[in-house]
Chains A and B, each alone.
Chain A
């Protein structure tokens, strides 16, 4: 993969885009959506976080050692699992499954794209692609476990009646786990179906703005979309397969809610 583009964006241009933030706040105020404070926090946080990560990535690119890349990706996995946990409150001890799911999705996806020769094993490729992979894996596993928690609560009677027939916990939970897995994957599958028709993905837009050839932008975007499909599938699968077990005791009894 050899894509080289460059674009200069001045602080003034970033400041000018705040006009749209002001518009969002004005709409919220006008329609009493009560989101002005959240919009303000989101704007400040995005500025601080992206500026900080921008400098961190610059340092990592300059150092160009894989250890720093792995350390950054490990931090992303950790914070991703912590963030996703807050979406999966009804799943007992969800942090462990989420951590393993994000680590597995990140390691296997990045390992595969490097092994296939799609990207070089260098900071310039692994950091941005790793960020996208882990971010999407986080969203997918959070959605999947959120659904798993709701479904397990709604399906308690059916699951317990199935256990009462001598089914294993895995057999009793299977329909629920399947629906949760599907929920985690469906958003990206749907957006991949409509990409180019209803929306242009961020990478492609960024490259076009930076002056890249449209065909190059499209090819890179396709690689990333297919990579993300793999990573969200792995994340949702690992998270649901590990997390459903936490609803059962070793004697294949359904735990009491909150117990």
Chain B
């Protein structure tokens, strides 16, 4: 198993956001689905330790997350947030920063192509990009770290249909050719069907269902 969550709970502002969640996330592409406020994004944040559960435990490849060096874990399990939040400067500056943190050589053109962006974007300033372009630049930045797992929070929420299709094609390519595991939060069951091999359904902070996509989202 890629991740195993055992009785995980977390409160925010006095509200129980995750309530005794136990679920398994296998290697491959997993979609976390559920209505707004179900705790999907919070669950994703726990997987690269942007937050820790108040109770319960999470294992990554069988080893408790808390035992891992947090910075190494985040470079191996890269999270792309829903809202773009790039550093000032150019797209290349952002990719170079991420690659340096991970100790990887920078191949800007390849990372951008994988993220569905034209390599010409490398020299563009991030404040000149549309939200959709920023979202793809965020994906490219994460890919510059050559992670083993990509955590994607609503990766196409700000995109039009054409851009969404391009990003989905890129994600399928990443999964099949580079064998990067994906854990994807989506409110769209159709997208979960297109991208997910496995589905975890959250509702009201509880994991109500999980299994192969064909069984959970027939």
Contacts and interface: CB of A to CB of B under 8 A. Distances in A.
Interface of A: 157-158, 160-168, 171, 175, 249, 251-254, 256
A165 B81 contact: no
Contact of A165 (B12, B49, B145): B145
Interface stretch (B20-28, B30-38, B69-77): B69-77
Residue from A162, A166, A168, A253 having most chain B Cβ neighbours under 10 A? A166
B101 interface: yes
A166 B50 contact: no
Would you call the interface of chain B mostly helix, strand, loop, or mixed? Answer: mixed
Contact of A164 (B13, B48, B52, B83): B48
B87 A256 contact: no
B25 to A, nearest CB: 18
B85 interface: yes
A220 to B, nearest CB: 43
A165 B51 CA distance: 14
B162 to A, nearest CB: 25
B88 A175 contact: yes
A164 B79 contact: yes
Contacts of A168: 71
A166 B87 contact: no
Contacts of B81: 157, 160-161, 164
Interface in B82-105: 83, 85-88, 97-98, 101-102
Most buried by A among B71, B72, B83, B98: B71
Given A162-B85, A165-B74, 15 more contacts: A163-B74, A164-B48, A164-B50, A164-B74, A165-B98, A165-B101, A165-B142, A166-B71, A166-B73, A166-B75, A166-B145, A167-B101, A251-B52, A252-B70, A253-B52
Given A160-B81, A175-B88, A253 B98 contact: no
Contact of A251 (B13, B49, B88, B138): B49
Contact of A161 (B49, B70, B85): B85
B48 to A, nearest CB: 6
Contacts of B74: 163-166
B78 interface: yes
Contacts of B201: none
Contacts of B98: 165
The bracket for how many chain B residues form the interface is 20 to 34
Q: Which 10 A-B pairs have the closest CB atoms?
A: A166-B75, A161-B85, A166-B74, A157-B85, A158-B85, A164-B79, A166-B71, A165-B98, A166-B101, A251-B70
Contacts of A252: 70-71
B141 interface: yes
Contacts of A167: 71, 101
Contacts of B78: 164-165
B111 to A, nearest CB: 13
Q: Which of B50, B78, B102 has the largest number of chain A CB atoms within 10 A?
A: B50
Contacts of B75: 165-166
B77 to A, nearest CB: 9
Interface in B46-79: 48-52, 70-75, 78-79
Contacts of A158: 85-87
A253 B85 contact: no
Contacts of A249: 52
Contacts of B48: 164
A113 B87 CA distance: 41
Contacts of B73: 166
Among A162, A168, A171, A175, max chain B CB count under 10 A is at A162
A253 B71 contact: no
A91 B12 CA distance: 19
Which interface residue of A161, A164, A253, A256 has the most chain B CB atoms within 10 A?
A164
B41 to A, nearest CB: 12
B45 to A, nearest CB: 9
A165 B83 CA distance: 15
